[in-house]
């Protein structure tokens, strides 16, 4: 039986959580096993950027896939591994969240940053395609949601091991009060349809995973977040480039360069990422490698800057 996990980051029994449950119920009725967790019930420590996981990942790659990738936090330091177990056991993941300051709540990006350390994200599974899917449900009080769905969809894809397998997304605007979504039958029906689409794609045994939601500007991640780079358009999520098609002084669309094979979600994308990271520094099994002169500059400089100004500590900890 296919398993679908819902991850809620909104208010308890709030708008996004209700829509998530509507979607999960539709998945259940279509023959899936469903569960959900509230991210607020879990203590997830933020990534400290120590890079232990990055170094272990490189070591593993250079050792032909041998070796473990883990975090500097012990597994029982918080509830992170509990979430990882649920994510890994799921075939489908539905993220549901409110918009907070144009984005999903920070707790969701805390989870996103940490998944790097178990080798779930960052291209670790490229070339090992798994038939797992994700979908996103977003609710905003107004229409201040421009960064919201792109970050949710990016998070969902990273939870699947960097696979852009988004099958549906729904964004609801102008829904500020708790429970208000219950007066909006169209939104409730749309959430049920999202659940059906997740179940449909999970039960398909062959053919490509297809997207069922509203089309966005980017044909790969179906978001509308485009940045201008070197005179060209680029999808902020997929790192996919193209040129605007202008008619009557208006942008009618974007003529994209190719397909998913050249985006962030492909082996090509991972190679590009690694080449960019390693353009200025060498990474070996032992970690970053510098010339003696560089190492001296860095060691001495860090001592000097470390000695300049002590941070103001929180009063509570004094």
Ligand X SMILES: Cc1cc2nc3c(=O)[nH]c(=O)nc-3n(C[C@H](O)[C@H](O)[C@H](O)COP(=O)(O)O)c2cc1C
Q: List residues near ligand X by CB under 6 A.
A: 10-11, 14-17, 98-102, 139-142, 144-145, 175-176, 178
Cβ count near 75 (within 10 Å): 12
* For the chain, the helix, strand and coil percentages under 3-state DSSP, each to the nearest 5: 40, 20, 40
**How many angstroms separate the CA atoms of 1 and 30, rounded?**
11
Backbone angles phi, psi at 216, to 5 degrees: -105, -175
CB of 292 to ligand X, least distance (A): 50
Q: Answer yes or no: are the C-beta atoms of 96 and 16 closer than 8 Å.
A: yes
Q: CA-CA distance, 51 to 265, in Å (whole number)?
A: 22
For residue 169, the minimal CB distance to ligand X (Å) is: 16
Within 10 Å of residue 31's Cβ, how many Cβ atoms?
Answer: 11
Q: In the complex with ligand X, which residue's Cβ is closer, 145 or 162?
A: 145
CB of 6 or CB of 14, closer to ligand X: 14
User: First-to-last CA distance in the chain?
Assistant: 53
Shortest distance (Å) from residue 102 CB to ligand X: 5
DSSP-assigned beta bridge partners for residue 96:
8, 137
Of 48 and 142, CB closest to ligand X: 142
CB of 110 to ligand X, least distance (A): 16
By beta-carbon proximity to ligand X, the closer residue of 31 and 179 is 179
Would you tell me how many other CB atoms lie within 10 Å of the CB of residue 204?
13
Return the number of the residue (139 or 238) whose C-beta is nearest ligand X: 139
192 and 25 in contact (C-beta within 8 Å)? yes
Concatenated DSSP letters for 81-128? HHHHHHHHH-SEEEEEEE-BTTBS-HHHHHHHHHGGGGTSSTTTTTTS
The distance of closest approach from Cβ of residue 97 to ligand X in the complex, given in angstroms and rounded to an integer, is 7
Sign of CA dihedral 121, 124, 127, 128: negative
CB of 101 to ligand X, least distance (A): 5
Nearer to ligand X, 39 or 202 (CB): 39
Query: Least distance in Å: CB of 224 to ligand X?
Result: 15
Cβ-based nearer residue to ligand X, 175 or 266:
175
Q: DSSP label at 311? A: P
């Amino acid at each position: 039986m296919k398993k679908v996990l819902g991850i809620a980051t909104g208010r308890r029994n709030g708008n996004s959580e209700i829509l998530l449950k509507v979607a999960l119920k539709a998945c259940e009725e279509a023959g899936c096993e469903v569960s959900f967790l509230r991210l607020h019930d879990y203590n997830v420590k933020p990534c400290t950027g120590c890079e232990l996981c990055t170094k272990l990942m490189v070591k593993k790659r250079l050792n032909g896939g041998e070796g473990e990738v883990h975090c500097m936090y012990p597994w029982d330091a918080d509830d992170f591994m509990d979430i990882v177990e649920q994510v890994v056991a799921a075939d489908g993941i539905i993220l549901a969240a409110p918009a907070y300051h144009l984005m999903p709540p920070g707790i969701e990006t805390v989870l996103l940053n940490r998944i790097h350390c178990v080798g779930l994200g960052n291209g670790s599974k490229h070339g090992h395609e798994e038939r797992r899917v994700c979908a996103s449900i977003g609710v905003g009080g107004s229409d201040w949601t421009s960064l919201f769905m792109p970050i949710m969809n990016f998070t969902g894809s990273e939870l699947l091991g960097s696979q852009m397998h988004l099958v549906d997304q729904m964004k609801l605007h102008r829904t500020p009060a708790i429970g208000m979504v219950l007066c909006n039958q169209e939104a409730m029906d749309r959430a049920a349809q999202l659940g059906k689409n997740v179940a449909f794609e999970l039960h398909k045994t062959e053919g490509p995973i297809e997207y069922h939601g509203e089309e966005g500007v980017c044909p790969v991640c179906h978001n509308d977040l485009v940045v201008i780079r070197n005179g060209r358009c680029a999808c902020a999520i997929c790192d996919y480039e193209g040129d605007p098609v202008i008619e009557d002084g208006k942008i009618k669309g974007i003529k994209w360069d190719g397909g998913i094979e050249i985006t962030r979600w492909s082996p090509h994308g991972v190679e590009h990422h690694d080449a960019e990271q390693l353009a200025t520094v060498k990474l070996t099994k032992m970690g970053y490698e510098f010339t003696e002169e560089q190492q001296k500059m860095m060691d001495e400089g860090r001592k000097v800057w470390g000695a300049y100004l002590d941070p103001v500590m929180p009063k509570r900890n004094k």
